[in-house]
Structure 1
Amino acid sequence: MACNNSEQRDMQIAKELLYSQFPTKFVWKKKERHWSLRKKGFTIGRLVHVPPNCGELYFMRIMLNHVKGPKCFEDIGTVDEYVCATFREACYKLGLIGDDREYIDAIKQAADWGSGFYLRNLFSNLLQSGKLSMPTTVWEETWQLLSDDILYRQRKLLKNPALQLTDEELKNYALMDIENSLQLNGSSLTRFQGMPLPDSSTTAHHRNTLVMDALSYDKKSLREENERQLSSMTDEQRSVYNEIMDAVLKNRGGVFFVYGYGGTGKTFIWRSLCSRIRSKGEIFVAVASSGIAATLIPGGVTAHSRLSIPLNVNEDSTCSQIKPGSDLTELLIRAKLIIWDEAPMTLKHSFEAVE
């Protein structure tokens, strides 16, 4: 339906008004549920006060004081024809809020003399103060400083000086500390839109000593070792290596039986697979039917020891430690590859017990 001249005039006037100015020119007719141009009287429009800790509501209020003629929420959050994901982002693009550079610099300066624990408390205090316009940006710029002491603390706590943590794990530990600090003051990271939340599942395995031992390797030296091993492989060894690694990388699963007389390089292939998988921060489980064979693979142990196979095994035997929720079960679930060296030396009942 086409608009008449009067409606077109009203729409043109509305397009030039801020949200708070609208009542000065228009009157809301309740029965008709329609805004009409004000013909007499005078009214002052105003916006209800919204404190900074209200998140998106606070930033929407800021935008309403700067956007003229919005017809919907998308109009409020549109800057130069770009629809922002959040009102906070829209405020930032219009320069209505700061870039938090002074707070980022403050954390970096404090890192020269303060511990990671102190910096995490500083960050949580800044969050609670409502001073940070873009807390996610501050976090991304400073998380390495905020988690500076995490690795040392975990090594000492777990009594594992060789422990290595990924960036994701470092972030999670730092976020858990920040969340604990906020909760002590009646707040939480969930109140700050865009801030990542700690994922307890990412670091839960740190309570499992079997998993921790399987991950505690120097990834850089293992990558270098793997490069040397690959350059020394024969075509036949490379073919076996590639087929197994392809199944591992694509999560296809599978059972491989590699055989050959002594000196053909079977153990060399195991070591190469081991260095490749562990260099990627994944778990490689190496077991052997004899103690001597187990010592030839880094981190190798006997099958009876690692898999809890009974000494007097029979057709009814089971591995008592492989049960839901146990540390050994978690280790096997997370393992990318399990090598069983000298397998033909083991009774078939042992394999049946493990299966």
Structure 2
Amino acid sequence: MVNGEICPSFRDACYTLGLLEDDKEYTEAIKEASQSGSGYYLRFLFATMLLSHSLSSPDVVWENTWEYLLDEILYNQQQILKSPSLSLNEDQIKNLTLFEIKQILLRNNSSLKKFTRMPLPVVDSVSSSNNRLISEELDYGIPNLKKEFDRLSIALTSEQQNIFDDIMTAINNNEGDVFFVYGYGGTGKTYLWKTLSAAIRCNAQIVLNVASSGIASLLLTGGRTAHSRFIIPLVLTEVSICSISPDSELASLLRKTSLIIWDEAPMIHKHAFEALDRTLKDIFKS
């Protein structure tokens, strides 16, 4: 025990007391290599240090050097996703850096899990960062969306406001629900869809706007026909399912989606909704 804290081993106790200086040398080596080495080289160097099992506290070395190791990560993601404007927060970049280190270790028959105090990458987060469809749905300017939401929300009628509140409550409480909004042309359904979309997107969440017809889909920001977005079969039966594999990018997008807005829903056969329902159950089960 050191300073009232139980150390898992004698070596850990020595490190806490400052009796071991080894890891400082490794930290300095990475910092020095950063003067001329690429980000990939530094990540490979860190992985090599792990493989040598000479680090007494690899997590401490990580915390002291991660800012050097993440070099080029953002640029690489922008190139992979063909999105020069893509931005990632610090946690996302650190997560991707850990993922790359993990991949280097795996290629050398090792794993980050062998180093008990090292943080592990969140795989779902990595999948999202590498998912072109998710990146596209998150590629909205949040400051502009907030201004748009303020402009739209202030003009909602009392009826629209009640519907808006019910839907947002279900989303915020992660309850899951189905809402059917009915009204003839000109009653403000599209206005409500735009307000909901802005509200969700300005919170960095995903809303999928679809419509039963191509013309209606053009009125929605990022809108598409339901058939193209969910790959609904053209010939529908009582047992139809959508052609979405549970491990596909589209399946990952659906798992991340907070709301699906389906305009002109009564214009499509009920088998289309049943096919999507069966598909979503399969996706969320996997």
Aligned-residue sequence identity (percent) comes to: 48
| 303, 318, 325: which one aligns with 2:240 | 318
Q: Which runs of 5+ in 2 are unaligned?
A: 278-286
Equivalent AA in structure 2 for residue 197 of structure 1: L
Q: Say whether residues 1:249 and 2:172 are aligned partners.
A: yes
Q: CA deviation at 1:230?
A: 4.2
Look up the SS of the partner of 2:68 in the other structure: helix
Q: For 1:55-88, what per-residue CA distance to the aligned partner results, in whole angstroms no more than 9, with x for missing partners?
A: xxxxxxxxxxxxxxxxxxxxxxx12444346656
Instruction: Give 1:266's aligned residue.
Output: 189
Tell me the alpha carbon deviations over residues 275-294 of structure 1, each in whole angstroms, 9 at most, x when there is no partner: 34334443321101222221
Residues 164 and 183 of structure 1, relative CA distance in 2, 3 Å threshold: same
* The one of 30, 43, 47 aligned to 1:120: 43
Q: Helix, strand or coil: the match of 2:261?
A: strand
Q: What is the SS of the residue equivalent to 2:182?
A: coil
Letter in 1 for 2:126: T
The Cα of 1:166 is off from its aligned counterpart by 5.1
Cα distance in 2 for partners of 1:246, 1:343 equals 22
Is 1:299 the equivalent of 2:222? Answer: yes
- Please give the per-residue CA displacement for 1:21-72, whole angstroms capped at 9, x wherever unaligned: xxxxxxxxxxxxxxxxxxxxxxxxxxxxxxxxxxxxxxxxxxxxxxxxxxxx
For residue 255 of structure 1, report the CA deviation from its aligned partner.
0.7
Distance in 2, matches of 1:348 and 1:88, equals: 66
C-alpha deviation, 1:248, in angstroms: 1.2
Determine if contact 2:99/2:126 at 8 Å carries over to the other structure.
no
**Counterpart-to-counterpart distance in 1, 2:244 and 2:69:** 39
Going from structure 1 to structure 2, the CA distance change for 1:334 and 1:141 (only over 3 Å counts) comes to same
Match of 1:283 in 2: 206
C-alpha spacing 1:82/1:259, structure 2 compared with 1 (3 Å): same
Letter in 1 for 2:240: T
Instruction: Confirm or deny: 8 A CA contact 1:226 1:275 kept in the other structure.
Output: yes
Change (3 A) 1:206 1:348: same
Counterpart mapping for 1:184-263 below 5 A = 187-205=110-128, 209-219=132-142, 221-223=144-146, 225-231=148-154, 233-263=156-186
CA 1:190 to 1:320, structure 2 compared with 1: closer, same or farther past 3 Å?
Answer: closer
- Matches of 2:36 and 2:187 in 1, distance apart? 57
Give the aligned partner of residue 15 of structure 1. Answer: none
Q: How far apart are the structure 2 equivalents of 1:238 and 1:86?
A: 60
Name the counterpart of 1:71. none
The answer on whether the counterparts of 1:307 and 1:319 sit within 8 Å (CA) in structure 2 is: no
Q: Distance in 1 between matches of 2:66 and 2:154?
A: 38
Q: Identify the residue that residue 344 of structure 1 maps to in structure 2.
A: 266
State the secondary structure of the residue aligned to 2:137: helix
Change (3 A) 1:260 1:185: closer
Q: CA deviation at 1:89?
A: 5.1
Which TM-score applies when normalising by structure 1?
0.63
Checking the alignment, whether the CA contact within 8 Å between 1:310 and 1:317 is kept in structure 2 is no
Give 1:332's match in structure 2, choosing from 219, 232, 254: 254
Give the secondary-structure state (helix, strand or coil) at the position aligned to 1:117. Answer: helix
- Residue 231 of structure 1 and its aligned partner are, at CA, apart by 5.0
> What's the CA shift string for 1:141-161, capped at 9, x where partnerless?
443432231222122223343
TM-score, with structure 2 as normaliser: 0.76
Q: Provide the residue aligned with 2:62 in structure 1.
A: 139
Label 1:243 to 1:158 Cα distance change in 2 as closer, same or farther (>3 A).
same
Decide whether aligned partners of structure 1 residues 317 and 81 sit closer, same or farther in structure 2, where only a CA change above 3 A counts. Answer: closer
Instruction: Give the secondary-structure state (helix, strand or coil) at the position aligned to 1:299.
Output: coil
What one-letter code is carried by the residue in structure 1 that aligns with 2:78? Answer: R
Structure 1 residues without counterparts, runs of 5 or longer: 1-77
1:178 matches 2:101 = yes
What is the CA distance between 1:110 and its match in structure 2?
Answer: 5.0
RMSD: 3.5
